[in-house]
Structure 1
Amino acid sequence: MHLPRLRRFTSAALVLLAGLIAGTGANAQGTAFTVRGTVVDAATQRPLPNATVRLRGTQAQTTTNAQGEYTLSARVQPGTYTLEYSLIGRGDATRQVAFGASPTVQVAPVALQQTAVALEEIVVTGTGVSARRVEVANTVESVRGEEIAEAPGASTVDQALQGKVTGALISENSGQPGGGVSIRLRGTSSILGGAEPLIVVDGVILDNSDAALVSLGANAGRGSAALTNRLADIAPGDIDRIEILKGAAAAGLYGSRANNGVIQIFTKRGVQGEPRITFRTEASVSQTSGEYDLLTYPFAGPADVAFVRTTRAGDPIRLGQPVERFDIQDEIFRTGGGTTNQISVSGGTTGTQYYVSGVYNTEEGVLRSTDYEKKSARASLTQRITDELQVIVNANFIQTETNLVPEGEQTEGALTNIIFQPTSFNPAFDAELNRFPYSFLGANPLDVLNNWRAPEEVTRFVGSFESSWSPISDLTIRYLFGIDDYRQESQVFRPPFSVSARDIGFITNPVRFSRQLNSDLTATHKAQLNPSLALSTDVGFRYTSDRGEVISSSASGLPPFQTTVGGANLSTGQGISEFRTIGGFIQERVSLNDRIFLTAGLNLEGSSAFGENERYQLFPRVGASWVVTDEPFWENTSIG
């Protein structure tokens, strides 16, 4: 079957003005400080690139450049804080830094000692098979669930990863509540193609699309500016650990979808024992870092004369005459509150273990009339049917409701009006006109907040069925079926006569249906040929299916008081995209004396997105690792 190629949106959308203001201000208080310094090798004093520098207790983090230099910006209250330095293969370090009168602080060079990595830690490769970290012969980073759940000020998984993954660039796309977060594990390697990593939860490949259903700026033609993020649907408190796979090895394991790396999320499961009930609640406060310094000069200037022209009473404004100034920032911004409540029950017997949890999360935006609400329920059941056969079932139901506002590009945003509208304009409701007065910019910010609407609702189900069968002691056959299914409905409503007396109003109501399926069959055989030689062979098959459909309807020329699609000018549209992959892989791991590990693998993938003459692509991988500290000669060295 020849399926049409999916249109690709640009991976980097222009960040709208309101997103920058609100996103930077959310959860931020205090004064802006900048820290500069250098990270070097303790033995050679050479600069260390890609070291992570994080300000403890905040989301502020950065990485060092090729010269080992870093610049870290944070908005905090004056006082003494702790800087944390980390790099794979190096010991961690901390430094105390005092923020006071000076906005810039220079830190003395920090030296990191070379040390052994946690080589014995168990990780899961793309074949779904557990192995020691040292055996996989490629970079795998792990983040414990406790670090995710306890990340300060982070209500979503992607926000909680900030500062915990070496070399990863994690930034907010929007300051709207429930806003999207962009993750770059290997930098932006394509102008037109997507740069987001592949997200896998309990073996289920998730849709983490960044394509927007509606554009909340005046320039509606700009897509790929999603204001919410589907990865945010996963509750941080349900996570057991996260593994990040970077480099070319990711494509060798997962195929073309993994060119930008893989984030594997493993959720909590039940453990044997008496039922254990856990309740966790958090409260958060979000506010802007301050207010705009608006013009307060009490006499009319050229902008007042040219654009505002008359007072509320109808008198003309003349250059140099006294005028009244209006600052409505207190009516636009607010201190937003948020809560996250989670309850979970886990336990089980030798043969059956269970984990059940429920989450309720609310968040108020710093812009009035914006808010976010999430309800989710998750269940995991592990059942050992026989000594050789075990099945695991995971189910997660999520429902979110978000109220957004136009972000402020050109003429439609509340923030745009605050910045560019002369302060002699009084935007307050006019009782005589029975409406908000018209702004020369087109939209009255108070009218936008009170009467315009931009809600979004998402209903999502993520589930998986996994069986593991070991007919003999050295052979394990594993099958996994995963599904990610959701419905996303957005709306933008602008009442008639809200911009001018000739304004005919507008409403658009697109709905997206998305369903992703993946089916994996893997066989693993391990053989200890002699005391110094061991083999591990993985052979598997993988099939994925991705179907998306967008149905949109819009109308203009709305009658008064109408809030649904209908009017003089109606338009509808429908778009369907399908994407399928099928392939097989084989991988061999060789262990020599449990110190030298060689890995080689082939992944053959056929994809409907590839050209007709390039339908199948081969992704090879080769890797090797050597635990030199386990060699006998190492003990006789001064280092050992």
Structure 2
Amino acid sequence: MRTIFTFIAVGWFLISSSAWAQETSVQGTITDESGSPLPGVNVIIQGTNVGTTSTIEGTYRITVPEGSDVLIYSYIGYNSVTEEIGNRSRIDVTMSEDIAQLGEVVVSALGFKQDKDQLGSTSSVVDAESVTRSGESGLINGLSGKAASVRIARSNGDPGAGSTIQIRGPNTITGSSDPLIIVDGVPISNSTVYGGGNGGNESAGVSQQSRLNDLNPNDIESIQVLKGASAASLWGSRAANGVIVITTKQGSAGKPKITYSTSYSIDQINTRHPLQNTYGQGSNGEYSPTDRSSWGDKIADRPGGADEVDQSGEYFAARDGTVYHPIINKNSRETYVDSNFDEVFQNGYFFQNDLSISGGTEKSTFFFSLGRLDQDGIIRNSYYDRTNIRLNNQTYFSDWLNMSARASYTSSNANRIQQNSNVAGLYLGLLRNAPDFDVSDYIGTYYDENGTASFNRHRSYRRPLGSNSNPTYNNPLWTALEQQSTTHVDRFIVNSDLNIEPNDWLTFTLRGGVDTYTDRRVYLFPIGTAGSDRVNGLFNEDVITESEFNFDAITRGTFDLTSGIDLTATVGWNYNDRQRRANFAQLSNFQADVKLPTTDLNSSNEVSSIENQKRFIRSNRLYTVLNFGFFDQVFFNASGTLEAASSVKGEFFYPSFDVAWQFTELDGLQNNEILSFGKLRASWGQVGVQPLPHRFQTLAEGGFTYSTYDDGLSISQFGGGFRVDDDKGNNGLTPEIKTEWELGTDLRFFGSRLGLAMTYYQNRIEDLLFQVATTPSSGFLSEYTNAGSMENRGFEAELDYDVVQTDDFNLNVYANFNNNENEVTSLQGTESVDLTTQSISSRAVESYPLGVLWGTRALRDDNGNFILDDNGFPSIAPTQGVIGDPNPDWRGGLGFRASYKGVRLNVLFEHSQGGDFAERTRFILQNFGTHADVGNEITLTQDLVNVAGDVIPAGTSVRANIRDYGAGPVLLDEAWYTGRGAGFGDGVMNEFAVSDATWTRLREVSLGYTLTSNWLQNTVKLSSVEFAVTGRNLVLWTDILGIDPEVNQFGVSNGFGIDYFTNPSTRSVLFSINITY
């Protein structure tokens, strides 16, 4: 501990040191080659640490000690200028751009600009304009394929659906995998909160939104991804998953600049599950109007014409007057596979309009924006809208005092469609639906044999007359049009910087920020919805409020220690307070059959429940950063963070260091025509993951309730008395600690036209946190504890090549590559940790990568061959185990940008090689007989046996497939697919649902034309008009049929690679116009 405080004290001491000399005065103005003023230029007296920076209007004034005669002007991205003072009292300077440095200005974890060439840690800069041009309505998905080691996975194609962001593989088992998001130097929330009517997780319910998508992409100036622990360690226990640093736009002095853009997107389902329309509802080759399966008669063999019905008794009258009677004989040959899809799906669209105004004076600048997004999803009645307002201001009160203030407001509304393992979900009801059942008349009146009417009855393929109040599975139109899963979000983000520069080498920064939102959710399941808990009506109202307050006090000093050694020292203190409050209220067993979301639905409190959750985390951090430069060639950076947080006891220290050597500064390598720049770098650092809050003590909860500890304090408002929670408190919790080192190089060739960055990294995460079962004698079921470790190692590369550069034509090729190998190296006290709960689950298993697929598997010998039963079919192993690994072998992106005069073209391909994907939807549909795989009719050329042992003679036409498992061909017919060959539960061969997940996609293609001319400026006062058309996810190449392998049943989760009736993804075409005044 003494060493830690010594390290921090050195930073304070160096900042507090200074030297003074006699003074003369020099002033002037600094501009770029176009004559525009350059603010923030460093003006240093050669050989001293005396200096200043230019103001927003580019002016400067500096006092010069006697005997000094040279000023050095430096600015990141520009060539340095050296001026002899002589007898001059005014020196005006024009600075030219340094082509070798362009694109190398980055933003640190604390929000300060840095020269990337002086850093030994890894980061990727994502062009903000490429995100806005991506064709995505949300910020997160616009990052896909643009940076090495950054995996973006959209939950599904629903409007506003959440997305997973993962940097350099998984870093925690049960904690969030999302990186820390820093906007303008202040952390904000990117949480995805489940609960209440969403079933508590993503396996059932709807896909909730990632909060980062609340931001308007058009407000973003720059995006930087900090990947390594060294770059992120200043944020301590919040930075194990990396950091994404976002800077919003600012105004500039001069006349107002007005920009208006409008975009219209057409969205379609990008892939459909192939369904058979050859065989009808029923089983064993016979039609049955209420059967769950479609193993019935061959539809083409029916006589045709109208069905024979019984008109003497019960019937169903649809809203349009169509009457349905019980079917005696099924004669019709009509099928509805395509028309049923058309009833449910539509062309989605989004319409986005953005207006921004920026400008200001020499003393104050502003940026104002207003954005509106309206989106209708590809599923009927799904929608999302978002309104964004932002105002950024920067004011220079004097040469030594300035302030930046930023405020944004977001309001969004959505209706999302139920999905996944959910009898009230859309795809479950649509895809299991028999091909000869028309879903269009889904609601009406049921009349029994006595003529008694039951109104608003739900008609589904299992209940074709609506005779039972529970339809078993929802008709998909009921899911889309009658149920409601709405959300309304109000979010405010406010932050401000106050910068004080008392002299040329010292800066004090006070920075504060508040991020707060309220998410109001309503789930309405009318009477007649499938499911025992919904059939009599169910209403949920959730109100989730999350807030974060952050404050930093930062001191920075710059020093020339000797003629060739300089230092920038930073010392800061941070206070952070995060709170979440959630109220989940539920009403069931409606007394009134209504479709409006209102609490006036029943009069019995006995069938109501309410739950309140509170969680908070407070932390204090003291940090210091020392940046040394040695002869403009070697740069050493060290940092240390001392942190105390309410979720753990004690203080924890997170150190880091990195070193960068620009070896092209050596004599003989400077000004090389081939190798323009070369840097070797290395870094080491530690970061952490905080435990879930409120886990020190064993808590009490309201009696007669189940434990809902989860990640908050859960207190029931009903029932009498209290009881001890099932989870044992643990006062010995510590953060998960990630230790990472990396080695890499940055190279630029041919006048910096070709850039290549390569990095090898390795990290180890210890003290992983998860629930461990306790002995029964303890009186508890489990304990949350530090009990595991895992490792990541990988290689990543990024390439950028300006192939052609002329006045009229430019061609740029860019690419990125990464492979990450993960291994769970230790799990103490348990065989595995379940990340999901399904027949095929995603788990942490020792000696395997995190998230491996787990389920029933085939029995095999030591050589991996199937052990067959007497009929030649695989047998089920007596124990479950690992059946697949969803982690890809490698991922990469390849793109090019071309421009000719005013025309531009951008194309981006993305590829994921290897990994496994559990096609549970396909597996279930084979069991139900609706998948195209089981719609084949074949004529046997030899006698074959089925799984039941029946011999089917040659020459027989049969609905089946043929497979050889090692003992000769066997027949896969209804007995196989409705037995252990497909379906759900532990009695089926879940291993056979797993397929290779390799995919390649045309992620983006964009064609635009920018019109600029003197006529345009002189006549209509417009600087430019751009027209563009963009395609998003237009083509997908994969062996996975029916679903995009990028989707995830469990949404934003550490478990992935599983599909179970997940709503589909989309492909889009976007038309846009951008006008600048």
Give the total of aligned pairs.
518
CA deviation digits over 1:90-132, x for unaligned, max 9? xxxxxxxxxxxxxxxxxxxxxxxxxx98588222212333221
CA deviation digits over 1:164-201, x for unaligned, max 9? 11121111012210111111112112221211100011
Match of 1:135 among 118, 127, 142: 118
Distance 1:221 1:163, change over 3 A: closer
Distance 1:300 1:322, change over 3 A: farther
Give, in whole Å, the separation in 2 of the partners of 1:451 and 1:224: 15
CA deviation digits over 1:545-593, x for unaligned, max 9? 0000001100110122263234231100100000011011111111111
User: Does the aligned pair in 1 maintain the 2:171–2:240 contact within 8 Å?
Assistant: no
Distance 1:363 1:214, change over 3 A: farther
Distance 1:459 1:558, change over 3 A: same
Give, in whole Å, the separation in 2 of the partners of 1:604 and 1:157: 33
User: Does the aligned pair in 2 maintain the 1:326–1:426 contact within 8 Å?
Assistant: yes
What's 1:191 paired with? 173
What's 2:502 paired with? 471
1:512 equivalenced with 2:524 (yes/no): no
Give the CA deviation at 1:226.
4.8
Give, in whole Å, the separation in 2 of the partners of 1:241 and 1:342: 18
Q: Note the residue ranges of structure 2 that are not aligned, 5 or more in a row.
A: 1-98, 292-307, 310-323, 447-454, 463-471, 676-1077
The SS at the match of 2:499 is strand
The SS at the match of 1:252 is helix
Give the CA deviation at 1:292.
4.5
CA deviation digits over 1:472-492, x for unaligned, max 9? 100011110011000001121
Match of 2:633 among 595, 611, 621: 595
User: Does the aligned pair in 1 maintain the 2:422–2:428 contact within 8 Å?
Assistant: yes
Give the CA deviation at 1:234.
0.6
What's 2:376 paired with? 364
Match of 1:308 among 290, 301, 304: 290
Identity %: 25
Give, in whole Å, the separation in 2 of the partners of 1:476 and 1:350: 21
What's 1:413 paired with? 425
1:107-256 matches, cutoff 5 A: 118=101, 121-151=104-134, 153-214=135-196, 216=198, 226-256=207-237
User: Does the aligned pair in 2 maintain the 1:373–1:402 contact within 8 Å?
Assistant: yes
1:280 equivalenced with 2:265 (yes/no): no
1:404-483 matches, cutoff 5 A: 404-427=416-439, 428-429=441-442, 431-433=444-446, 434=455, 435-440=457-462, 441-483=472-514
What's 1:329 paired with? 341
The SS at the match of 1:530 is coil
The SS at the match of 2:140 is helix
Distance 1:372 1:500, change over 3 A: closer
1:260-299 matches, cutoff 5 A: 260-289=241-270, 291-297=272-278
Give, in whole Å, the separation in 2 of the partners of 1:241 and 1:637: 31
Give the CA deviation at 1:424.
2.9
The SS at the match of 2:244 is strand
Give, in whole Å, the separation in 2 of the partners of 1:221 and 1:345: 40
- Specify the code of the residue in structure 2 equivalent to 1:337: Y
What's 1:556 paired with? 588
1:580 equivalenced with 2:618 (yes/no): yes
Give the CA deviation at 1:161.
0.9
1:545 equivalenced with 2:577 (yes/no): yes
Give, in whole Å, the separation in 2 of the partners of 1:384 and 1:635: 40
- Specify the code of the residue in structure 1 equivalent to 2:654: F
Give the CA deviation at 1:157.
1.4
Give, in whole Å, the separation in 2 of the partners of 1:632 and 1:247: 32
Give, in whole Å, the separation in 2 of the partners of 1:450 and 1:186: 41
Give, in whole Å, the separation in 2 of the partners of 1:120 and 1:317: 73
Distance 1:344 1:418, change over 3 A: same
- Specify the code of the residue in structure 1 equivalent to 2:144: Q
Match of 1:628 among 633, 654, 663: 663
- Specify the code of the residue in structure 1 equivalent to 2:565: L
The SS at the match of 1:443 is coil
What's 1:398 paired with? 410
Give the CA deviation at 1:414.
1.8
The SS at the match of 2:632 is coil
Give the CA deviation at 1:459.
0.3
What's 2:518 paired with? 487
The SS at the match of 1:454 is strand
1:374 equivalenced with 2:386 (yes/no): yes
CA deviation digits over 1:359-393, x for unaligned, max 9? 00011111100011000100001111111000011
CA deviation digits over 1:376-435, x for unaligned, max 9? 100001111111000011000000000111114241112111211212333314655354
Match of 1:257 among 216, 223, 238: 238
Give the CA deviation at 1:264.
0.6
The SS at the match of 2:554 is strand
- Specify the code of the residue in structure 2 equivalent to 1:270: G
Give, in whole Å, the separation in 2 of the partners of 1:275 and 1:446: 51
Give, in whole Å, the separation in 2 of the partners of 1:224 and 1:632: 65
Distance 1:429 1:195, change over 3 A: closer
Q: Compute the TM-score of the two structures, normalised by the length of structure 2.
A: 0.46
Q: Note the residue ranges of structure 1 that are not aligned, 5 or more in a row.
A: 1-115
- Specify the code of the residue in structure 1 equivalent to 2:185: G
- Specify the code of the residue in structure 2 equivalent to 1:442: Y
Distance 1:118 1:239, change over 3 A: same
The SS at the match of 2:637 is strand
Give, in whole Å, the separation in 2 of the partners of 1:329 and 1:127: 50
Larger radius of gyration: 2
The SS at the match of 2:343 is helix
Give, in whole Å, the separation in 2 of the partners of 1:556 and 1:485: 31
